[in-house]
Amino acid sequence: MPPRIRLRTQDVLTRRTDYICLSCRHTYASLATTPAPSLSQTTPAPPIHRHPRNQPPSYKPPEFRKSQLHRQYQSLLRSAPLMLIFQHNNLKSTEWMAIRRELASALRKVDEDLAGQGKQDLMAGDGVKIQVIQTGIFASALRVVEFWNPDFSAKPQVAEIHPTDPATPTSGPVPATTATPTDPAFTHGLSTSAYLTAKKNRRLKHGLEPLLSGPLALLTFPTVTPQHLKAALSILSPSPPNFPAPRRRTNPSYHEPAVQNGVQKLMLLAARVEGRVFDLEGTRWVGKIEGGLDGLRGQLVAMLRSVGAGITNTLEAASRSLYVTVEGRRGMMEEEEEEKGQGVTEAGQ
Amino acid sequence: MLTKFITSVSARFSPFNSRSGKTARNFLALLPPNARSTMTIDVQMLGRNAAAEPASLALKFKDGKEMSLDIEKMKIKDIQVEVDRHSRVLRRKEELAG
């Protein structure tokens, strides 16, 4: 019968054992003592976490598509300070493709202009993205982002004693040692507390409620850039005086039927700029800011400078009038002195 | 909804009105992808301040009938019923003639 435990022949051949004399072998075995348990073995092991650190419990099953979309929309809402909300009325995929192509080329042109001016840090055209969203999930994600403030300093509410502690009485029922799903220490957007907070505060309004129905698409910008917004508006929702559509001569591909039909079916509804809701007019106002945020800062500096000049004039006026008065008085006194001096000399003569 | 017999749609609404804005937008979303080639669509959108202003949705059909729908009160289902009622008549006429 072959041996039950299979040893690799190589191992058997190369195994080297130190020589121990047969008569001494038993003595050595009897002298061997068990080593004292190490510190980590004496203290109780921490309880096994039911949820890994990177997989905290979520309210809805995390493997569902809607959970992942919810998470994705939350991250989008937190990372995009400027987003436009469009309604798309039955656009075909070729039309979407054509619109995306035109949008990308227009934004690339803006980036090239900015690079020409040496403003490489403002180039954000690559991050601008138009995407169709699931409206209901987006509405829920928006409520979580707006109204849920997770407590990042909260400690998980677990029992003080746990079953591996030797001091724990073994006869009674042992309390649960892992955090419950409703624990405020879970600070992720899919947690139960996030869901409940977003659902509970029905009275709180973020201003976009009437818009969140029907087929929606989002155009998201990674930064608030009026230049890129202007380019995007002139492609997606052209309105002649401020946001004219590109001319047929300069950009013939914009006037292809696929793009034109698609643009007609996109309706700009509103914008969300740094958490605030803007309607159509407000969106165009943001896009109209000349020279982007730098232009706005320049305007502010010019305004403050004129105010500063006014203040210095006002503050100077008092001292200046005092100076003029004192000078006038000195002149008068000098004249009097001269007159007196003349009178004295005349009397002396 | 039968959209084959509609020749013109003109809508005036504010998307910030949770009643009329939603209904009008839902109606526009029901039009087929080639709607712009078969009918004239005129959409006028009002701003946020004009949310309380009266909204209107007017349709014209192939036989010349004009239908003005009260989107303040009607919901999208009611509008569908109204439009379909007239469209079915037109469809029957067309079937009998053709």
pLDDT, tens digit, 9 for 90 and up, residues B24-50: 999 999 999 998 889 999 999 998 998
What band does A14 get if pLDDT is binned at 50, 70 and 90?
low
Nearest Cα to Cα of residue B25 among A272, A277, A269, A140: A269
- Residue A47 pLDDT: 53
B36 touches chain A (CB under 8 A): yes
What band does A45 get if pLDDT is binned at 50, 70 and 90?
low
Q: Does the pLDDT at position A25 exceed 60?
A: no
The helix, strand and coil proportions of chain B, stated in percent and rounded to the nearest 5, come to 40, 25, 35
Reported ipTM: 0.92
- Residue A259 pLDDT: 93
- Residue A28 pLDDT: 55
CB–CB contact B28 A89 (8 Å): yes
The residue in chain A having the minimum alpha-carbon distance to the alpha carbon of residue B49 is: A279
The residue in chain A having the minimum alpha-carbon distance to the alpha carbon of residue B43 is: A267
pLDDT, tens digit, 9 for 90 and up, residues A149-181: 888 888 777 766 666 677 777 777 666 667 777
Within 10 Å of residue A68's Cβ, how many Cβ atoms? 13
A108-119: average pLDDT? 90
* A:B CB pairs within 8 Å: 60
- Residue A98 pLDDT: 95
In chain A, which residues touch B (CB < 8 A)? 87, 89-92, 209-211, 213-215, 261, 264-265, 267, 269-270, 277, 279-282
Name the CATH superfamily housing domain B6-97: Glutaredoxin (3.40.30.10)
Provide, as residue numbers in chain B, all residues whose Cβ is less than 8 Å from the Cβ of A210.
15-18, 21-22, 51
Flag the least confident range among A8-12, A80-84, A337-341: A8-12
Start-to-end CA distance of chain B, whole Å, equals 22
Percent of chain A with pLDDT strictly greater than 70: 81
The helix, strand and coil proportions of chain A, stated in percent and rounded to the nearest 5, come to 50, 10, 40
Beta strands in A177-262 (DSSP E): 216-221
Mutate to test the interface with B, among A84, A88, A89, A213 (most CBs of B within 10 A): A89
The residue in chain A having the minimum alpha-carbon distance to the alpha carbon of residue B19 is: A210
A300-326: average pLDDT? 83
Q: Is A107 exposed, middle or buried (0-12, 13-18, 19+ CB in 10 A)?
A: buried
CB–CB contact A270 B15 (8 Å): yes
Give the nearest partner residue to B29 out of A215, A277, A281, using CB atoms: A215
Percent of chain B with pLDDT strictly greater than 90: 81
- Residue A92 pLDDT: 93
Query: Which residue shows structure tokens 């052209």?
Result: A238
B45 touches chain A (CB under 8 A): yes
Give the nearest partner residue to B17 out of A91, A92, A210, using CB atoms: A210
- Alpha-helical (H) ranges within B19-97 are 20-30, 35-38, 76-97
What band does B96 get if pLDDT is binned at 50, 70 and 90?
very high
Angstroms from A96 CA to nearest CA on chain B: 12
- Residue B64 pLDDT: 93
What angle (nearest 5°) sits at the alpha carbon of residue B14, between those of residues B8 and B15? Answer: 100
The residue in chain A having the minimum alpha-carbon distance to the alpha carbon of residue B50 is: A279
Give the nearest partner residue to A210 out of B16, B32, B36, using CB atoms: B16
